[in-house]
Structure 1
Amino acid sequence: METKIVEDIVIVGAGIAGLATSLGLHRLGIPSLVLESSDTLRVTGFALTTWKNAWRALDALAVGDILRHKHLLLNGNVTTSLITGQQTSITSFEGTSKHGPCEVRCVRRQLMLEALANELPSGTIRYLSKVVAIEEFGFYKIIHLADGTTIKTKVLIGCDGVNSLVAKWLGFKQASFVGRYATRGYSESKSTHGFEPSFMQYFGKGFRAGAIPCDDRGVYWFFTWTPTSQDKEAEENPAKLKQYVLNKLQKMPSDVRSFIEETDINSFLSSPLRYRHPWELMFGNISKGNVCVAGDAFHPIGGCCALEDGIVLARCLAEAFSKEPMRDIKVMDEEEKANELYKKIEGSLKKYANVRRWRSIDLVASSYMVGSIQQSESKLATFLRDNILAGFLASLLLKKSNYDCGKLNSS
C-alpha cells in the first residue's frame, strides 16, 4: 500500500554531505528527513585525511572534539620516490609555512558518520529508502521510493553520491572517469605500530601510494594507479589486485608494506576515480528552483569539501526558513504563501550555489592537475615531480585546505 509523507526538507543520501547538512539544519532549529537506500550507514573508503577546512566545519557542527580524541594529530607530510628511494620533500603541519598551523588527522569514515548521525534526532534518517523517481507538483517535489512510498517536500537536496539521481534530474551528466583507479584499505596491528604521526606518501612510475596512522594501532593506506589493458583482470580479481599492489610497492619500507600485506583480501576492490569538468560546474545547475546537490553528487572531490557544502547549505537554507514573518502574510491565501516561501527557498539555494561554485571549480582543477603530475609515466614529468615540484605539490595541499566555510550562525 502506498504511503504519503509531507516534509519541509528531504536530503537524499546519508553520507558525509547529507549528514552534515542535516545536522547543520538541526543546529539551527530546522528539521529534515534523510533518505538512505541501504539498511545502515554505508562505509566505503575506510578513512579520510581530514584537513584544516574540514575541522572548521566539524567544529561548526559541534562534533570536532568527539573525533579529535580518537585520532592522532599528524605532524607533517613525508614524500618518497620509490624510483630513487630518496625522500623528495618534508612538509610540516605545525605552523612553519606561510599558511600557519594545519590540523590534519586521518579519521575513520565510520566514526565520522556515526558522530554526525548520533547528534541527529531519532527518526531523522529513514533507511531502506531508495529514490527511484522525482516529479514536479506545483511548488513541491514528489519523491517516489522503491517501496511505493511517496514524499512531498518543499526542498530536495541530492547528497546521493557520484551516480546521483538528483544531479541527473538537474541536468548533470555522469561524472567523467579520470583515467585512474584507487584501492584503499585499513589494518590494525596487535600492538602499537610505532610510526611517527605523519602522512607517508610514495610515488612510482604511474602510481601513488600512501600510509597514514589513524591512531596508535590502525593504519589507513591507499594506492592509486593507471591501468593498462594487461591490468584489466587485476581490477576484478581481489587476489590478483592485492598481488599487483604489493608487486608495485616492493621498494616501500617493509614495516609500512606489512600493513597492506595483512589487509583482508576482500578489501582489495578497485574503484574508478571520477570528476566533473570545471565547465560543467561553471555552467551547470547546482540548484534549480527548490532542488540542489552537495557532496559527491555535486563534485566528487572528497569528504572535506562535502563538510564545507553542508555548513554553507544549512546556513543558506536557514534564511529561507527563518521565523521572520513574510510580507503581507495576513492578506495572502495559501497559494500565495507557498509561492513566497518557494521564492525564498530558490534564492537561498542560488546563494549556496554561487558560494560553492568557484570553490569547487578551484579544487577540481587543482586536484586534476596534481593527480596528473603525481601519477604520470612520462620520464620528464617524473623527474620534475621528484626533483622540482615535490615541495610545491605538498604545500598546495596546505594552501587549498586553509579555507573557512564559516559558522552556522553567520549571515
Structure 2
Amino acid sequence: MEVVEDIVIVGAGIAGLTTSLGLHRLGIRSLVLESADTLRTQGFAFAMWTNAWKALDVVGIGNILRQKHNRLTKLVSISVASGLPTAELRFEDIHEVRRINRKVLMETLGNELPEGTIRYSSKVEYIQDSGFFKLIHLADGTILRTKVLIGCDGVNSVVAKFLGFSKPSFVGRASIRGYVECKDIHGLEPEFLQFFGNGVRYGVTPCDDHGVYWFFTYIPSLQDKGIEENPDKMKQFILTKLGNVSNQVRNIFEKTDLNNMIWSQLKYRHPWELLWGNISTDNVAIAGDALHPMTPDIGQGGCSALEGGVVLARTLAAALRQKSVVGARENEEKVQRERIVMGLKKYAKERRWRSIKLVSVAYVVGFIQQSNGILISFLRDRVIARYLAAILLKMSQFDCGSLGDS
C-alpha cells in the first residue's frame, strides 16, 4: 500500500516533535513516524539552558514547562577527592536553567500536535529515490511517498545513513542515568551539582520539589565489565565511586530504584564529518541526534535539538509558503521543488557550524573533566574549573530566532 504525504519526519524525539510543532504553528501539516508504540521517555531528564527556553517559547510551550520545573540558581563544581567546591557559577537573570523531566517534555510537545500527527509502530526499513519524491518503506509493508523527508531518528539514523553519514563513534566512556521521585520534599537546593575526579564525572540536579535527576559517567575497564547487565551491581559500582560526598547527595543514589537507571555508551559524530557531510540533499535533511550526536558534557544535546527544530520549521515553511507565478502545473511543481531544496540548504548552512562547535566543545570538555592524570586533575581543580563552568553558559547564549524569520 502506498500513501502520499507532503512532509514526513522520521523520529518522535525532541527534534522531530519540535519541527512538527513549529510547522503546525505555521499552518503546515507533517506526519511523524515513530518506531516505538509510544513516546520514548528513556533518559529521565534534560538540562534546559537559556537557548532551549528561547526555542520552547517560540513553539509555545515554555510557560507550560516552567510551571512544573524549578529554576536553578547556580552551578557548583566539586572535587570527588576532597569534597570541596572548585568553582561556583551563579546564574544571572539572563540565564534560565532548569532540569526538565523528559516524560513531561515529550508529552507536552505531543499534546500540542493535532491528533494523528504521530504514527507509532512505524519502523523505517529503507529509503528509495523516486524522481524528486522519496519512497519510505516501513516494516509493516506500507510505502510512503513524500515531497520532504526529515530524519530525526537518533544516533542510529536511517536517514543519516541515506545521506552518506557513518555511524557515530564511541568515545571510550559510558554513562549511567537515574531518576528519584521522593515521597517527601527532597530538600536539595535548586542547584546543578557536578563532581569530578578519580576518573569519574557525575551530577545531581532537582527537577521539582520531589524529583531528582542524576548522571554518572566513567571510563569502562575489565574490572567493571558486565555491570550494565546487572542493575544491582551497577548501583553498587556507582556508590563505591562517589568519593567524598555529602550524605544528602549519597542518599539520592541509594534511594534510586533499580528500574530507574539506564546504561549507555557515549557516542559522538566527528566534527570533520559534519564539515564535509550532506546535512541536506535535495528534499532530505537531518536534525537532532541524527545530525549531531555529542557527549553530554555541556548539556546541549536536547537544547540543540530544540534549536534545530525551530530553524528547520522556519526555513522549510518559508520555502513551502512562497507563492508561485500562475502557470502550468508541471512548472509550479518544479518551482516548489527548487524552493524546498533551497530551504533545506539554508537550514543546513545555519546548523553546520553550530553543530560542529557543540560537538567539538563537548568532547574536549568531557576529556578534561574526566581525565584522571595528575597534571590535568591538578589544573582542572585549581585553574580550569571556573573556565569550564563558564563554557556551559557561553554555549547556551544562542538565539534560534522566531518561526516568522525568513
Please tell me the residue identity of whatever aligns with 1:352.
Y
Q: Residue type matched to 2:159 in 1?
A: V
Distance 2:115 2:83 in 1: 53
CA contact (8 A) 2:23 2:30 kept: yes
Aligned to 2:372: 377
Partner-residue secondary structure (3-state), 1:388: helix
Paired residue type of 1:82: V
1:145 corresponds to which of 138, 144, 150? 138
Q: Tell me which residue corresponds to 2:257.
A: 264
- Residue 387 of structure 1 corresponds to 382
Among candidates 183, 191, 194, match of residue 184 of structure 2: 191
Task: Select between 51-60 and 228-237 the one with higher mean Cα deviation.
Answer: 228-237
Match of 2:7 among 6, 9, 16: 9
1:88-237 correspondence to structure 2 within 5 Å: 88-95=86-93, 101-237=94-230
**Equivalent AA in structure 1 for residue 384 of structure 2:** L
What SS does the corresponding residue of 2:225 show, helix, strand or coil? helix
Q: Which residue of 2 aligns with 1:75?
A: 73
Could you say which residue in structure 1 is the equivalent of 2:404?
409
Alignment of 1:271-310 (within 5 A): 271-301=264-294, 302-310=301-309
Q: Which consecutive unaligned segments of at least 5 residues does structure 1 have?
A: 96-100
Per-residue CA distance 1:53-106 (angstroms, 9 max, x = gap): 0000000001000000000000000111011221101100025xxxxx200000
Structure-2 residue corresponding to 1:98: none
Bigger Cα displacement from structure 2, 389-398 vs 228-237? 228-237
Distance 2:293 2:42 in 1: 14
Computed over aligned residues only, the root mean square deviation of the Cα atoms, in angstroms, reads: 1.0
Residues 212-244 of structure 1, C-alpha deviations (whole Å, 9 max, x = no match)? 000011110000111112221223322211111
SS at match of 2:177: strand
| Partner SS for 2:184 | coil
Are 2:348 and 1:353 equivalent residues in the alignment? yes
| Segment drifting more, 78-87 vs 148-157 | 78-87
Q: Which residue number in structure 2 is paired with residue 42 of structure 1?
A: 40
- 1:11/1:158 contact within 8 Å kept: yes
* Cα distance in 1 between the residues matched to 2:222 and 2:372: 15
Count of residue pairs the alignment pairs up: 400
Q: TM-score, normalised by structure 2?
A: 0.97
Q: Tell me if the contact between 2:315 and 2:346 (Cα under 8 Å) persists in the aligned partners.
A: yes
Tell me, yes or no, if the aligned pair for 2:24 and 2:113 is still in contact at 8 Å.
yes
Tell me the TM-score normalized by structure 1.
0.96
1 CA distance for matches of 2:390 and 2:115? 42
Residue equivalent to 2:357: 362
Which letter maps to 2:271?
P
SS in 2 for 1:358: helix
2:312 corresponds to 1:313: yes
Partner in structure 1 of residue 297 of structure 2: none
Q: Which runs of 5+ in 2 are unaligned?
A: 295-300
Name the stretch that deviates more: 150-159 or 232-241: 232-241
Q: Tell me the distance in 2 between the aligned counterparts of 1:197 and 1:277.
A: 35
1:325 Cα deviation (Å)?
2.7
User: What amino acid sits opposite 2:314 in the alignment?
Assistant: R
Runs of 4 or more consecutive aligned structure 1 residues displaced over 3 Å after TM superposition? none
- Matched AA of 1:177: F
Question: Which residues in structure 2 correspond to 1:238-249 (within 5 Å)?
Answer: 238-249=231-242
- Given the alignment, which residue of 379, 395, 401 partners 1:400? 395
Distance 1:132 1:54 in 2: 32
Contact 1:139/1:339, CA 8 A, preserved across alignment: no
| Aligned equivalents of 2:245, 2:18: Cα separation in 1 | 37
Question: What secondary structure sits across from 2:350 in the alignment?
Answer: helix
Partner SS, residue 408 of structure 1: coil
Structure 1: how far apart are the matches of 2:245 and 2:119? 44
State the AA in 2 paired with 1:5. Answer: V
For residue 266 of structure 1, report the CA deviation from its aligned partner: 2.6
Per-residue deviation, residues 306-350 of structure 1 (Å, max 9, x unmatched): 00000000000011111x4323x32x243x333221111110000
Aligned 8 A contact 1:236 1:269 in 2: no
Question: For residue 93 of structure 1, what is the amino acid of its counterpart?
Answer: F
